Amino acid sequence: MGTERVPQVLKRTMPGTGDEVSILGFGCMRFKRNLGATDMEKAERLVAAALAAGVNYFDTAYIYPGNEKATGALLNKTDELGKRRDRVFVATKLPFMMVKTREDMDKYLLASLDRLGMDYIDYYLVHSISDFAAWEKGKRLGLPEFLRGAKAAGKIRHIGFSWHGNLHDFRLVVDDFDWEFCQIQYNYLDENFQAGTEGLEYAAAKGVGLVVMEPLRGGMIVGKMPPAAKRIIEGYRDASGLKRSPAEWGLRWVWNHPEAGCVLSGMNEPAQVEENCRAASDALAGSLAHADLAMIGSVRDVFQGAIKVNCTGCAYCMPCPYGVNIPSCFASYNSHAMFGGMNAKLMYNFSMRGGKGKPQKASACKKCGVCEKKCPQHIPIIKTLEEAAGTLESPFFNIMVKVADRFIG
Residues involved in catalysis: 64
3 state DSSP class of 52: helix
Q: Which residues pair with 318 in a beta bridge?
A: none
CB count, 10 Å around CB of 237?
11
Q: Is the peptide bond before 95 cis (omega within 30 degrees of 0)?
A: no
Which residues, including other chains, have CB under 8 Å from residue 148's CB and lie 6 or more apart? 159
User: Strands, DSSP E only, in 130-287?
Assistant: 156-163, 181-185, 209-213, 262-265
Q: Which residues pair with 13 in a beta bridge?
A: 20
**Alpha-carbon distance 326 to 371, whole Å?**
9
With contact defined as beta carbons under 8 Å apart, do 216 and 250 qualify? yes
With contact defined as beta carbons under 8 Å apart, do 268 and 32 qualify? yes
With contact defined as beta carbons under 8 Å apart, do 262 and 54 qualify? no
With contact defined as beta carbons under 8 Å apart, do 15 and 21 qualify? no
Identity of the residue numbered 26: F
**78-79/156-163 β-pairing:** unpaired
Going by the DSSP 8-state scheme, the letter that residue 311 receives in this structure is: -
**Alpha-carbon distance 388 to 121, whole Å?**
41
Locate all alpha helices (DSSP H) within 340-380, ordered by sequence. 343-351, 370-374
Identity of the residue numbered 381: I
CA nearest neighbour of 283 among 267, 301, 298, 265: 265
**Alpha-carbon distance 98 to 41, whole Å?**
32
**Alpha-carbon distance 380 to 143, whole Å?**
39
